[in-house]
Every structure is written in C-alpha cells, then in structure tokens.
C-alpha cells in the first residue's frame, strides 16, 4: 500500500490516478497517524513553498514525515514535495523540512528566450545509478513545471540532471528518500515506470 500525503498542495489526484493505472493500491492521509502507519510514502506537491510549509505545519505532519523517513520508510518526493524536503527555499526565504541538506534556488537564466517557470518536457540525464531510474537512456524526457530548482549540498545526492539554461538537479536522493523535480505522474510511460519501480523499491540507493 502506498500512502500519499495530502497537505493541500495540488497534484495528489494525478498521483492517485497514476497508481490506479498501474494497479497499485494507495491511500491519502492528512494526519501524523496516517504517516506513522505507512509502508511507503509519496510526498507530492505543486504551488509555492511558503504555503506548502504553512499547510504541513498546520496539519502537524512534519515530525511524523521526518520520523517515517528516518525509520527507513521508502519515500518519494515530487516537485514542491522535493523542494520543501531540503533545508530552505529561496521562495519566501522559508525554512523547510531538512530531510536532506541543501536549498531550493530561483532560476536566474542568462538567456532571455528561456522563460520562468520552466514548463514542458525535458531530458533527464542519469548521472548516478539508482533503482528508480533504471533503464533510462539518453534522450528520455519527463514533464516539468517549476520556477525553482533543487540544490542539494552534496553532489553525491544528485542522481539526474536536466539542462534549462544551465544544469540543475532533477532527481536527488539519500538512503530511502528519493525526490524528483519533474512530475512522474504526468510523464507518460517513463514516469509510470518510475512509479512502478517505487512500489517495490526496498529503500536502498543501489
């Protein structure tokens, strides 16, 4: 059973539909108790980091999410869920959860032809092997919608990069936590394959 954390940040219905399409059982929770009983967690999100953190704190689920990850529960962060998993965000200069050391940065693009937010399909290049990215090859694309990008403190935690004016980390991970800036639930076959692998992932990076 996959537990999807609902904190009012958007795209959980798309995640649910993707799980259903794969024949994967899922449940949506908004409470610490729901997270503490989870076998594996998807932490999705769209929108703004300050609002996301306000909602997470209002629901009182931050400590339970941290406890679940620290106890070894396989966890997948998506988009804003990935961004607020780091220490802080440039968006509102907000303190975030700190599941992984690093910050979320605002795009500062040298090419005026490149618009922010970054919206659309773009290549995801695997730079470090990970079970959830297994089988991806040069040219495989995923769907992005974001104005901020992931900047983990250690390059050892970067598993894929994407070019949009410059290279940014599009998938990061540490132990049983993995997170994507792109939306696997909106990324067709490659995204569904990633979610399918997550359903059986044991929570180890190799």
Positions marked active-site: 79, 183, 185
Distance (Å, whole) CA 197 – CA 154: 25
What are the tokens at 47?
């929108």
φ, ψ of residue 39 to 5 degrees: the values are -90, -35
Alpha-carbon separation of residue 75 from 110, 111, 113 (angstroms): 35, 35, 36
Q: What are the start-end ranges of the E strands in 59-175?
A: 75-78, 88-89, 94-95, 102-106, 118-123, 125-126, 141-146, 148-152, 158-163, 167-174
């Amino acid at each position: 059973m996959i537990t999807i954390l609902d904190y009012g940040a958007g795209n959980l219905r798309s995640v649910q539909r993707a799980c259903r399409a794969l024949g994967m059982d899922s449940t949506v929770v908004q409470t610490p108790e729901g997270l503490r009983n989870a076998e594996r967690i998807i932490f999705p999100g769209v929108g703004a980091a300050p609002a996301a953190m306000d909602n997470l704190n209002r629901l009182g689920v931050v400590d339970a999410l941290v406890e679940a990850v620290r106890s070894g529960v396989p966890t997948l962060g998506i988009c804003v869920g990935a961004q607020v998993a780091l220490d802080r965000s440039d968006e509102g200069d907000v303190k975030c959860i700190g599941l992984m050391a690093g910050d979320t940065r605002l795009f500062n693009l040298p090419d005026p032809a490149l618009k922010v937010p970054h919206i659309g399909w773009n290549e995801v290049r695997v730079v470090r092997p990970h079970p959830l990215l297994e089988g991806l090859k040069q040219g495989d694309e995923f769907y992005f919608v974001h104005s901020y990008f992931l900047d983990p403190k250690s390059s050892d935690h970067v598993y894929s990069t994407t070019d949009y004016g410059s290279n940014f980390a599009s998938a990061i991970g540490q132990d049983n936590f993995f997170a994507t800036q792109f939306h696997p639930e909106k990324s067709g076959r490659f995204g569904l394959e990633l979610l399918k692998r997550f359903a059986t992932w044991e929570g180890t990076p190799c």
